[in-house]
Structure 1
Amino acid sequence: MNLHRLGTIVGIELRQRVRSVAWYVLLGVFALILLGLLLLSFASFALWNGGNELFFSIVIMLVLLLVLLVSPTLSGSAVNGDRDAATLAPVQVTLVTTGEIVIGKFLAAWISGLAFLVVAAPFLLVATFAGGLNPLVILTSLVILVLEVGVVATIGVGLSAVVARPLFSVASTYLIVAALTIGTLLVFGLGGTALRTSQEVVSRDFDFAAVPSGCDPFATSPQNGCPSPGEVGCVDSTSYTEIPRFDRVWWVLAANPFVILADATPPTYDPEYGAPSDLFSQIAYGVRLAQIAPEPRVEYDSCASYTSERVPDYTTPEQQVAGTAPSWFVGLLVQLVIAGGLMAWGIARTRTPSKRLPPGTRIA
């Protein structure tokens, strides 16, 4: 592979995009959305008191969302669009190889997707210098975001080389992106609900039937002839209920781009209660919590706080996450395998001379 020829292909693709007025309009609309989010964040999240962590994570998630919506359009017709415009065949008869053509178009689509990150850079700097952000959180989230932009660009360019029609390749790219984002959520929710299991629930509460009429065990002032809460007996009741088994399908979420971004980013917790303090940590906590299998038997004791029995210790979200396993690298590997397979298939379909072409495919 010749770097000079590869750079020529990338340069041609980028110059074509820069000449488009719609490209600048799209970037301008994106900047206005981020500006509005910044102003609302100053008013709602109080950036000077730690709300900047939430603001930063929301901005990164919004950038990823918009890139997932726009990138298929930028990359989904990269190869077959040139074939329909009769500009691919003249390039193929030069010294440029098929691999250089497809990879060059992928790099151009990747760079175009990263333009949204460049537009968001000033807003991210505001959130960063507002104070209280972990530099590792910023670095990790940006690296994952760059990789996700590249994955979507690879899928789009690969499908544009495999599918003959630009409209179908763009639609196919959107379908794969939808399967990784919305589809994984649907499979997780419906699959976990379908795989139900029975759980025994034991409830221990005060024996209110033994309390004399007119007495209130929880009255603030003692009542003559009435027992105190500690003197009232307790009774147990047992019931059975069906609960979903999300621990059996949580791995489906591993390939979700938003879960990968959240799970790979170092979590931040509230120092007082140990609760997640940003959107990354909240999503990661939810996915990690789904890994824990439900107990076959649970107990609820309403008497413990009024008797001499010890109240169970409270387990913070930080402690719960510490006992689970990260999955972002597995999901990212699955995405890379899908994208790499489509790219290899696209190079094979674009290589000339071709033994067989779909009916109606334009050659020159």
Structure 2
Amino acid sequence: MTGFLQGLWLVVTLDLRQRVRTVAWYVLLGVFVVLVAGVTVLLVLATDAFLDGGGGVFSSIVFFVLLLGTLVSPALSANAINGERDAGTLATTQVTLVTTTQIVLGKWIAAWITALAFLAAAVPFLVFAVALGEVPASTILVSTLVTALELGVVAAIGVGLSGLLTRPLFSVAVTYLVVAALSIGTLIAFGLGGASAQSEVRATNTYVDWMTVERDGVPPGEEPPCLPPQTWTYDVPRFDHVWGFLAANPYVVVADAAPASFDDRGTPTDMFTWIAVGVRQAQHAPELEVVYDECANWTPSGTVVDDESETPRDVYEDSVPSWFVGLAIHLVLAAGALVWAVRRTATPAHRLPRGSRIA
């Protein structure tokens, strides 16, 4: 086991040294810091965070880091294996005592560490958001940890595809497509799926005859005059049938995993909780028989008492979390890509695609 870890760490250190030697890496990291700083300033000005606390700023910065990380990580990881194969340097490593598994896992860890550097560069801005107040320690820990795992998943997919596909440009493009499918495709599938699976709602409303009440009044203890019930039908989308698509969205995974934060009125105080409430609201089936009886809510004082509406906190507490399902899907996808890459990169290769370079 010690020998395996030594060989693995050797691949990791060699790959990291190659990455940090290039000036482009530092330029990219500097641009990232400037972008995060600009977004932080705009968030503070837009949300008046100095008065309302830093929960919204913190969650927005985490999402922005995840966005930039998923945009940069494919370019840094999806040519890790086939790029060296094209350069003729992969065969040099394969003839040593380092195994194929160590090569693939080592390049994945190096790509993951590279992606985590962007998260580390955002730490000062995250600390600033925490200093504004109202950011629980559990939210900081969980959201940062899950974001780091999601960056590792993207790095694993990129390294895996670089071992499966022969052309670096093609593997980078496919990795971006996978990221787009998880980030945007799940939202499209959710929206179109819910819109295509509709159900008919039958609504019946009964109202008080207010003209008669104002003219004649209502004696104490008697029922008010009511208008005839009005009934109509309309179609509503059934998002409760397709809400599972959102479970695979990396932003939903981060938001739903973070502990919820509400104010005294049951309203979310950060973007994590707003997204989590929206996803959990989609789990609830719409009411297909809607009845509103204004006469039934009549009180002897001559007023109509409306039922209390459900707060976002109630929606959140009456639903089940889905983040662990999405995270499990991502981990299985990443592990499958790495295992497949190990099999395709192993030597001796009994069968190679046409045009593949061996050395």
TM class, shorter-length: over 0.9
2:21 to 12, 19, 28: 19
Q: Within 5 Å, which residues of 2 pair with 1:213-292?
A: 217=214, 227=217, 233-271=226-264, 273-292=265-284
Counterpart Cα distance in 2 of 1:233 and 1:241: 24
% identical aligned pairs: 49
Aligned equivalent of 1:328, options 305, 323, 329: 323
Aligned to 1:50: 52
Per-residue displacement from partner, 1:79-128 (whole Å, max 9, x unpaired)? Answer: 00000000000110001100000000000000000011111000001111
The Cα offsets for residues 232-279 of structure 1, whole Å up to 9 and x where unpaired, read as: 6344211111111110110111111000000000010121x2011110
User: Contact conserved, 1:206 with 1:235, CA < 8 A, in 2?
Assistant: no
Please list, as runs of the form range in 1=range in 2, the aligned pairs for 1:103-252 lying within 5 A after superposition: 103-207=105-209, 211=211, 217=214, 227=217, 233-252=226-245
- Paired AA for residue 233 in structure 1: C
What RMSD in Å do the two structures reach over aligned CA positions? 2.0
The reply to whether residue 63 of structure 1 matches residue 65 of structure 2 is yes
Q: Are 2:54 and 2:131, in contact at CA under 8 Å, matched by a contact in 1?
A: no
- The code of the aligned residue for 1:264 comes to A
CA contact (8 A) 2:298 2:305 kept: no
Aligned to 1:35: 37
Q: Give 1:220's aligned residue.
A: none
| SS of the residue 1:240 aligns to | strand
Mapped partners of 2:176, 2:287: distance in 1: 39
| Residue 356 of structure 1 pairs with residue 351 of structure 2 | yes
Question: In the alignment, which residue of structure 2 is the partner of 1:2?
Answer: 4
Q: Deviations over 1:66-87 (max 9, x none)?
A: 1111111111010000000000
What residue number does 1:222 align with? none
TM-score (ref. length: structure 1): 0.91
Partners of 1:199 and 1:295 within 8 A in 2: yes
User: Match of 2:83, SS?
Assistant: helix
Match of 2:104 in 1: 102
Counterpart residue identity of residue 71, structure 2: L
2:291 paired residue number: 299
Aligned residue pair count: 351
Runs of 5+ consecutive residues of structure 1 not aligned to the other structure:
218-224
Counterpart pick for 1:346 among 338, 341, 350 = 341
Query: Partners of 2:22 and 2:333 in 1: how far apart?
Result: 30
Name the SS of the counterpart of 1:2 in structure 2: helix
Q: Deviation of residue 35 (structure 1)?
A: 1.2
Moved more, 11-20 or 141-150: 11-20
CA distance in 2, matches of 1:44, 1:337: 39
One-letter amino acid of the structure 2 residue matched with residue 240 of structure 1: T
Contact 2:190/2:246 (<8 A) preserved? yes
1:71-82 correspondence runs (5 A)? 71-82=73-84
Moved more, 98-107 or 46-55: 46-55
Question: Could you tell me how far apart the structure 1 residues matched to 2:120 and 2:331 are?
Answer: 24
Asked if structure 1 preserves the Cα contact closer than 8 Å seen for 2:9 and 2:106, the reply is yes
1:42 counterpart letter in structure 2: V
- Is the 2:224–2:298 Cα contact (8 Å) retained in structure 1? no
